Amino acid sequence: MPLFSYIVRRILQMIPTVVFILIVTFVLIRLLPGDPASAMLGDRARDADVARINASLGLDKPVLVQFFYFVRRIATGDLGDSITLKTPVVQLIAQRLPVTLMLIGMAAVIALLLAVPLAFVAALRREKAADTVIRGTFQVGLSMPVFYIGILLLTVFAANLKWFPVGGYGDTLSSKLYHLFLPALTLALSFAAVLMRNLRTAIIGVINAEYVDFARSKGLRSRVILIRHVLRNALISTITLFGLQIGSLLGGGVITETVFAVPGAGRLMIDSIYGRDYPVLQGLTIALAVLVCLTFLVTDIVQAWLDPRVAR
């Protein structure tokens, strides 16, 4: 029961966060110099054209009135139409966000598959050759800029070896997974490096704990000890880190999306900032804010499940 009330409490806490993000986004984008009509029409715009378009978008009204219309629309689930693309924002988000989610999902799986076993090896072979090699390799991965890793992977595995396509996005699910593998790997490398370092330290901390010695003295098999006692306890801090990383990838995958020509939400976000496309930016921010909050919620729930003390 404490877990259930904890979940309800956390969901309720999300509401003011999302509302706050909504207000900040609405105000911040209007503080930026330039307006949608000027951004859309470019340098050749005449005053009359700009005024006409801004009026048709309701941008000639006071900001408070605009905010009222905005909230009223959101309450009905309508995020408005994109100013530059002239299509409903909901439709755009429905097209782009799943691409980013799939990319992040794949990156997270690859990162976990790399980080967990290697963290064990590094922790159990602490300060030995295997540990040094694993930590050194990840250090290089972590220090290299994402766009550089991306171009490197594209050149080697796509252009030269032709194992993967050079960027883009497929039509069918299998083709999409195939297209997204290299960008997911690019994101996963630095993701895994952070997780591996954290998990390795946590495992080293736990492995010498008294309850592990106790489990060992009970004669439990080492695999059972490692999974049930060491991993479960070591994962607690790593899970938080995992959640935070997923949260930052939701809005921060834009470089990878650009290098690999993946039509995800990150590129849509950047385009909408440059184009001062207020409805898209607002809609996308809300969607991403909710997703980030949900990620943190799931992280907290998993953490509470692993460590019941958290929920108390």
Partner 1 sequence: MKTIAKAALVAGLLLGTSLSAHAVERGGTLNYGRYADSLFLEPVLNDANVDIWVLSNLYDTLLLPTDDGKGVQAGLASAWKLADDGLSVTLTLRDGIKFSDGTPITPQDVAWSLKRAAKPDNGEWTFIVGSIGDVTTEGDKTVIVKLKNTDPAILTALTVFNTGIMPQKAFEAAAGTTDAEKAKAFAEHPIGSGPFMLKSWDRGSTMKLVRNPYYWGMGEDGKALPYLDGINFEVIPDDATRILKLNSGELDGAEFIPYSRVDELKSAGNLNMELYPSTRVQYITLNARPQLDGKDNPLSNAKVREAMNYAANKEAIIQIVTHGVGKPMTSYMSSATPLHTGDKPLFPYDLEKAKSLMKEAGFEKGFSTSLLVLAGNQDEIGIATALQQMWGQIGIKLDLQQVDNASRTAQYRAGTFAMREAAWTDDIADPNEITSYFVYSPNIGALHTGWKSEEADKLFETSQKEIDVTKRAADYARIQAIYNAEGPIVPLYETPYPVALSKKVHGFLQIPLGNNIFTKTWLDK
* Cα gap 246→252, rounded to integer Å: 10
80 binds partner 1 (CB under 8 A): no
Judged by CB under 8 A, the residue of 4, 46, 77, 210 near partner 1 is 46
* Cα gap 246→104, rounded to integer Å: 7
Judged by CB under 8 A, the residue of 141, 247, 253, 275 near partner 1 is 275
What is the separation, in whole angstroms, between the first and last Cα of the chain? Answer: 10
Tokens 């990150």 identify what position?
A: 266
In the complex, least distance from residue 36 CB atom to partner 1, rounded to whole angstroms = 8
85 binds partner 1 (CB under 8 A): yes
165 binds partner 1 (CB under 8 A): yes
Judged by CB under 8 A, the residue of 68, 163, 214, 274 near partner 1 is 274
33 binds partner 1 (CB under 8 A): yes
Judged by CB under 8 A, the residue of 268, 289, 291, 292 near partner 1 is 268
In the complex, least distance from residue 183 CB atom to partner 1, rounded to whole angstroms = 11
Judged by CB under 8 A, the residue of 260, 281, 282, 289 near partner 1 is 260
Q: Specify the residue, 45 or 301, whose C-beta has the smaller distance to partner 1.
A: 45
In the complex, least distance from residue 73 CB atom to partner 1, rounded to whole angstroms = 17
DSSP string, 98-141: HHHHHHHHHHHHHHHHHHHHHHHHHHHTTTSHHHHHHHHHHHHH
Q: Specify the residue, 138 or 169, whose C-beta has the smaller distance to partner 1.
A: 169
- Altogether, the residues listed in the chain come to a count of 312
Q: Specify the residue, 56 or 248, whose C-beta has the smaller distance to partner 1.
A: 56
Structure tokens given for 22:
């909504």
Only segment of 3-11, 215-223, 256-264, 301-309 that touches partner 1 (CB under 8 A): 256-264
Q: Specify the residue, 162 or 218, whose C-beta has the smaller distance to partner 1.
A: 162
Query: ∠132-246-198 over CA atoms, to 5°?
Result: 30
Binding residues for partner 1, rule CB under 8 A, total 50
Query: ∠290-73-54 over CA atoms, to 5°?
Result: 110
Per-residue DSSP letter, 163? S
174 binds partner 1 (CB under 8 A): no
DSSP string, 171-235: SSHHHHHHHHHHHHHHHHHHHHHHHHHHHHHHHHHHHTSHHHHHHHHTT--HHHIIIIIIIHHHH
Q: How far is residue 67 from each of residues 70, 73, 124, 268, measured CA to CA in Å? A: 5, 10, 57, 23
Judged by CB under 8 A, the residue of 17, 54, 66, 84 near partner 1 is 84
User: Which residues are 81's β-sheet partners?
Assistant: 88
In the complex, least distance from residue 251 CB atom to partner 1, rounded to whole angstroms = 17
90 binds partner 1 (CB under 8 A): no
What residues make contact with partner 1 under the rule CB under 8 A?
A: 32-35, 38-50, 52, 56, 81, 84-87, 92, 95-96, 147, 151, 154-155, 158-159, 162, 165-169, 258-261, 263, 267-268, 273-276
